[in-house]
Structures are given as structure tokens and as C-alpha cells.
Amino acid sequence: MPNIKSAEKRVSVSSAKKLQNQMVKSQMNTAIKKFNAAIAANDAELAEKLLAEAASKIDNAASKKVIHKNSANHKKAQIGKALFQLKSGIIVVKADAKSLKQAEQKAAAARKAEEKAAAIAAWKEEKAAKEAAKAAAKDPKAAKKAAKKSK
């Protein structure tokens, strides 16, 4: 904790500035995510509209020195390239790391569920085969009749 009045003011000012910067960066990232969602949905018209908005937010963040100007130019080039590829017919898959991780988790859960269902089905078949073997051992004639009915 700062003891000097000027240090206290610095902490207060810097925390307020941090929140302002966070807001600008969040708006920029939201605009980019909306653009990427339009690209993933193969909606070129919407992506073109969102490109202008995203570029504006990126420029705004760069002018306020929230991100470096080279980083801003790189981001604008990336989204422009994605739109060009979409219009050219090149397959573009845009997804953030969070959505990729969620997709991997869903796929893993689906595989696990399929394996469990297969194991249960194998267990049921094995159980039915054992019961049939027991029935055949007790009464061979009844087992032959059951086999004929099942065919």
C-alpha cells in the first residue's frame, strides 16, 4: 500500500486507465470474434460489413496505444486475408482456442460414450450367450426349438 499521497493518486489513476484500456481491447476482440464467426458461417456479406467495424475498433485501440500500431496492422491484414479467402472459395476455418478446446472435449466425450455403449452391448451379448449355453445344457431339445424360432 502506498503511503505517499502522490503514490496513492498514481495507483488510482493507473487502475482507472487500466479499466479504460480493458474496455477498448474488449470491444476490439468482440468485433474480431463476430467477424470470425461470420467467416466460419461462410457469410461473405456479413463478414464484409463486420470487417469495416473490426478494422475501426483495431485502429481505435492502436490510436489509444492499447495495442502497438504494428500489431494493429497485423490484425487487420489477418482479417482482410480471411475475407479474401472466403470470397475466393478457399476453405477457411476460424476458431479461437477456447472453442477448439470445447470441440475437442465434446469429441472426447462422444468417443467415451460410444465405447461405453459398445462395452455394454458386448456384455449383453455375452450374457445372452451364457444363458443360452445354460439352457442348452439343461434341455437340449428346448435349445434347438429356441434356435429355430430365432432364425
Sign of the torsion formed by the C-alpha atoms of 78, 83, 85 and 91: positive
Position 98 scores a pLDDT of: 67
Please tell me whether residues 36 and 12 are part of one structural domain: yes
Judge if 65 and 103 occupy the same domain: no
The answer to whether residue 63 scores a pLDDT higher than 70 is yes
pLDDT of residue 107: 83
CATH number at residue 70: 1.20.58.110
Domain hosting 51: range is: 5-94
What integer pLDDT is reported at residue 101 of this predicted model?
A: 74
Please tell me whether residues 79 and 139 are part of one structural domain. no
Q: Decide which of 145 and 74 is more confident.
A: 74
Residues 20 and 82 both lie in one domain: yes
Does 85 share its domain with 102? no
How far is the C-alpha of 85 from the C-alpha of 36, rounded, in Å? Answer: 13
Q: What is the count of structural domains for the chain?
A: 2
The C-alpha cell 491484414 sits at 77
Q: Which of 1, 96, 124 is nearest to 39 (CA)?
A: 96
**104 or 10: which leads in pLDDT:** 10
C-alpha cell at 17: 486507465
Checking if the pLDDT of 18 tops 80, the result is yes
Confidence band, pLDDT 50/70/90 cuts, at residue 55: very high
pLDDT confidence of residue 99: 67
Task: Please state whether the predicted TM-score (pTM) of the whole model is above 0.85.
Answer: no
By CB neighbour count within 10 A (0-12 exposed, 13-18 middle, 19+ buried), where does 33 fall? middle
Residue 12 to residue 120: CA distance in whole angstroms? 62
The residue out of 70, 94, 118 marking a domain boundary is 94
Asked if residue 87 and residue 55 are part of one domain, the reply reads: yes
Domain boundary among 50, 67, 94: 94
Q: Are residues 69 and 134 in the same domain?
A: no
Contacts of 86 (CB under 8 A, 6+ apart): 39, 42, 44, 47, 92
Residue 91 has pLDDT above 90, yes or no: no
What integer best gives the mean pLDDT of the chain? 88
